[in-house]
A and B are shown apart, each in its own frame.
Chain A
């Protein structure tokens, strides 16, 4: 009995050791691929940066394009954005090559590549969605805030926050869905949250604009025949900003 247990353990240890030994070169290959491609990415980014700086790309881009790209770029520099994209593209390529090498060196029937690479791609996609969503939420939130303030809406901040959280909730749901986490729970939670925010905003705007709607309706109602004679007395008209010419 003891001999059998000992043999089973020895056999198991042997199998694990063999697997580890065959796994290590693959792991080493993954590390080498990542390091080499990272170094290559740094080199490409550096060369690109020098080229774009010498070509005054930021100035030319700023002169000919709208500010949208420069706004989402790190330090508001399109050059930096391009170089970083090049760098991270190389790093991701290194990881993909490394995983592929690991898979090739891994014995047995398990196909790591077929599991890891799609998930890795999804993860990269999720990170990109998260970044875009965050930037978009901030951009739209500020746009709504400034626009609403300039329209003299008292609930400008509330509206802006609502828009921000709408976009963030949508982003979070998309990220989780992309990573295939949560399944139908995410869709359900997203529906409840999104609907809740929209309903809250609608109620807030509706209640906030009640006076505005009332005044609008009153204008359309015909004046009663027996109106007060005091209404005919001309009243001093307050001069508004309409008398001003800004240009």
Chain B
């Protein structure tokens, strides 16, 4: 059984690497100006190259240590709320042109990153031993719920990695990681999918590259292009499921090497966050959505989910709001079964992702109830997410078995 060589740790502080490039995505003029100011404050004692596709403000020359320049994107940048294939490809091309050894790619609304966060990022990639630095944002208990429900636990369980935000808005990469990402991105851009999402943590894990995590504090997370939850969930989760399908050869053998020191620290932070968790929000609309879906989508869910899960959902649909708790193992199985159905094309993939939305809302309701200070059995949001990730890890053999023998193994 192979072991994943990638281990995530909170990055040790070091000095920024020589030849560091900061690649920016398109920003409005004011945001660009503020980002440059923050970068100037973060790297006051070291010269750093900053590449932006936008025209530079007139006073940028005064910022002595920053070597800011405008680059012409080799691939059309679709814009958007996350880093896309085109962003990775362009960043690598700029790295090549300027002989940079490492690159920090900052996503939309980069102006909200504090100088300390930028310095942390640079220090994390600076040691030369790390290929990918994933940021750890300080988000509220009601933020980044899709990440907490699906992206983080599934990535951690399948790829044996620990970064809390596998689909981060910013990244720091070494040259070889940038090259790896560019080669993957090129496959998408060649077919005109410039806006395709990439999964850097999974790429690094499957390529055996080292991963670290850097605390970057608070950051304004860009809002998705579409306000419709179904559309965005289908886009993000669908992209992840496709990536899992593409890397099946790796994750079936990968195991988590060990629990890094940083995890304990984050668990403590989670308990602090639990204390800060607010009162229980109104979960009734989400429960109504789930119950309506249970009475209407049962036929479709039965094509995807095994009888055990359907029974669990039936019990859940009858549970009153005050006691509504979706077991972690049930949610893990649901996500795994949807990943399998995505792979086997049991039903149309668009329908599949649409059928996942009410289940996700049920998980959100349960998560909020568990995370609130007023709810019974409250455990705190971050502690709940960690417990959920552990449940995903425990149930991984189920996914592996069904992936290998989808017809023979059907409990």
Q: Do A and B come from one complex?
A: yes
Chain A interfacial positions (CB closer than 8 Å to B): 63-64, 67-68, 70-71, 76, 139, 142-143, 145-150, 152, 154, 156-157, 238-241, 243-247
In the complex the two chains form, is B358's CB within 8 Å of A239's CB? no
Query: With contacts A244-B281, A247-B224 known, is A143 near B142, CB below 8 A?
Result: no
CB-nearest residue of chain B to A148: B296
CB distance from A47 to the nearest CB of B (A): 25
- Measured CB to CB, the nearest residue on chain B to A244 is B142
Q: Note all chain B residues with C-beta closer than 8 A to A67.
A: 345, 348-350
Q: Are A152 and B282 in contact (CB under 8 A)?
A: no
Beyond A63-B242, A240-B282, A247-B144, list 10 extra A-B contacts (CB 8 Å). Answer: A68-B348, A142-B351, A143-B354, A145-B300, A146-B355, A150-B357, A150-B358, A240-B281, A241-B282, A247-B221
Q: How many A-B residue pairs have C-beta atoms within 8 angstroms? Tell me.
A: 97
- Is residue B103 contacting chain A, with contact meaning CB distance below 8 A? no
- Closest CB-CB distance, A84 to chain B, in whole Å? 17
Residues on B lying within 8 angstroms of A by beta carbon are 81, 139-140, 142-147, 191, 221, 223-224, 229-230, 232-233, 236, 242, 246, 281-282, 285-286, 288-289, 292-293, 296-297, 300, 344-351, 354-355, 357-358, 364, 368
Q: Contacts of A146 on B, CB cut-off 8 Å?
A: 297, 300, 351, 354-355
Q: How far is the CB of B219 from chain A (nearest CB, A)?
A: 12
Residue among B223, B348, B364 making CB contact with A71, cutoff 8 Å: B348
In the complex, are the beta carbons of B230 and A243 less than 8 A apart?
no
Nearest B residue to A77 by beta-carbon distance?
B345
Contacts of A145 in B (CB 8 A): 296-297, 300
* Contact (Cβ within 8 A) A154 B292: yes
Listed from nearest, the 5 A-B pairs whose CB atoms lie closest are: A76-B345, A146-B354, A239-B281, A245-B143, A67-B349
Are B351 and A156 interface neighbours, CB within 8 A? no
| Cβ of A70 to closest chain B Cβ, rounded Å | 6
A70 contact set on B, CB distance < 8 A? 345
A246 to B232 Cα, complex, angstroms: 9
In the bound complex, CA of A245 to CA of B141 (Å): 9
A139 B144 Cβ-Cβ under 8 A: no
A241: which of B81, B232, B286, B350 is its contact (CB, 8 Å)? B286
CA distance A64 to B350 in the complex (A): 16
The residue on B at minimum CB distance from A241 is B285
Which residues on A sit within 8 Å (CB–CB) of B296? 145, 148-149, 156-157
8 Å CB contact of A240 from B145, B285, B349: B285
CA distance A150 to B354 in the complex (A): 8
Q: Could you tell me the distance between the alpha carbons of A152 and B288 in the complex, rounded to whole angstroms?
A: 8
Q: Which residues of A contact B246 (CB under 8 A)?
A: 63
Question: In the bound complex, do residue B232 and residue A239 qualify as a contact, i.e. CB atoms below 8 Å apart?
Answer: no
Also in contact, A245 and B282, with CB within 8 A (given A67-B348, A142-B348): no
Q: Is the CB of B345 within 8 A of A149?
A: no
Chain A residues lying within 8 Å of B349, measured Cβ to Cβ, are: 67, 71
Question: Which residue of A71, A142, A152, A243 has the most chain B CB atoms within 10 A of its CB atom?
Answer: A142
Query: What CA separation (Å) do A147 and B292 show in the bound complex?
Result: 12
- Listed residue (A142, A146, A150, A241) with the most chain B CB atoms within 10 angstroms of its CB: A146
Residues of B within 8 A of A240 (CB): 281-282, 285
Residues A149 and B233 in contact in the complex (CB < 8 Å), given A70-B345, A247-B224: no
Q: Is the CB of A244 within 8 A of B282?
A: no
Given contacts A145-B297, A145-B300, A150-B358, contact A238 B282 (CB under 8 A): yes
Contact of B292 among A143, A152, A238, A243 (CB under 8 A): A152
Which residues in B have their C-beta under 8 angstroms from that of A156? 292, 296
The answer for the CA separation of A139 and B350 in the assembled complex, in Å, is 10
Q: What is the CB-to-nearest-CB distance from A67 to chain B, in angstroms, rounded to a whole number?
A: 4
Chain A positions within 8 Å of B300 at CB level: 142, 145-146
Bound-complex Cα distance A49 to B5 (A): 39
Q: Is the CB of B297 within 8 A of A247?
A: no
Report whether B348 and A149 are in contact in the complex, using a CB–CB cutoff of 8 Å: no
Q: Which residues of B contact A148 (CB under 8 A)?
A: 296
Inside 8 A of A239's CB, which chain B residues have their CB?
Answer: 281-282
Complex CA–CA separation, A216 to B357 (angstroms) = 27
Residues of A within 8 A of B230 (CB): 147, 150
With a cutoff of 8 Å between Cβ atoms, the chain B residues found around residue A71 in the complex are 345, 347-349
Taking CB atoms, residues of chain B closer than 8 Å to A150 are 229-230, 289, 293, 354, 357-358
